[in-house]
Amino acid sequence: MGSSYSTAFSNCTALSTVTIGEKVKNIPDYAFDGCSGLTSITISNSVTSIGNYALRNCIGLTNVEIPNSVTSIGNSAFSGCTGFTSITIPNSVTSIGNSAFYSCTGLTGELIIPNSVTRIGDIAFYSCTGLTSITIPSSITYIGYRAFQGCAGLTAVHISDLAAWCGIDFDSEDANPLYYAKNLYLNGELLTKLAIPDGVTSIEGATFYSCEGLTSVTIPNSVTSIGNAAFHGCTSLKDLRFEDGEGALSLGYNADSRILFYDCPLETLYLGRDLSYTISYAYRYSPFYNTKTLTSVTISNSVTSIKNYMFYGCSGITNIEIPNSVTSIGERAFDSCTGLTGELVIPNSVTSIGNSAFYGCEGITSVVIPNSVTSIENYAFSRCKIKRIELDCTTIKSWFNYSSTIEEIILGNNVTIISDNAFKSCSKITSITIPNNITSIGTEIFRECSSLQSVILSNSLTFINDGTFYMCSSL
Residue 292's CATH number? 3.80.10.10
Please indicate, yes or no, if residue 270 is contained in any of the structural domains: yes
Q: Give the pLDDT of residue 1.
A: 47
Q: What local confidence, expressed as pLDDT, does residue 286 receive? A: 83
Query: In a 10 Å sphere around its CB, with 0-12 CB exposed, 13-18 middle and 19+ buried, how is residue 363 labelled?
Result: middle
| pLDDT tens track for 192-206 | 999 999 999 999 999
Q: Is residue 88 part of a domain?
A: no
Instruction: Show the low-confidence residues of the chain (pLDDT under 50).
Output: 1-3
Q: According to the 3-state scheme, what is the secondary structure of the chain?
A: CCCCECCCCCCCCCCCEEEECCCCCEECECCCCCCCCCCEEEECCCCCEECCCCCCCCCCCCCCECCCCCCEECCCCCCCCCCCCCCECCCCCCEECCCCCCCCCCCCEEEECCCCCCEECCCCCCCCCCEEEEECCCCCCEECCCCCCCCCCCCEEEECCHHHHHCCEECCHHHCCHHHHCCEEECCEECCEEECCCCCCEECCCCCCCCCCCCEEEECCCCCEECCCCCCCCCCCCEEEECCCCCCEEECCCCCHHHCCCCCCCCEEEECCCEECCCCCCCCCCCCCCCCCCCEEEECCCCCEECCCCCCCCCCCCCCCCCCCCCEECCCCCCCCCCCCEEEECCCCCCEECCCCCCCCCCEEEEEECCCCCEECCCCCCCCCCCEEEECCCEECCCCCCCCCCCEEEECCCCCEECCCCCCCCCCCCEEECCCCCCEECCCCCCCCCCCCEEECCCCCCEECCCCCCCCCCC
Q: Does residue 227 belong to any structural domain of this protein?
A: yes
Per the structure, the count of domains in the chain is: 1
Determine the pLDDT at residue 300: 98
Position 444: which residue type? E
Tell me, yes or no, whether 210 lies in a domain: yes
Query: Does the predicted TM-score (pTM) go above 0.95?
Result: no
CA 401 centroid distance within chain: 38
CA distances from 143 to 8, 15, 153, 396, 440 (A): 33, 35, 19, 57, 69
71 close to 94: Cβ distance less than 8 angstroms: yes
- Per the domain annotation, does 263 fall within a domain? yes
Which domain range does residue 217 map to? 201-303
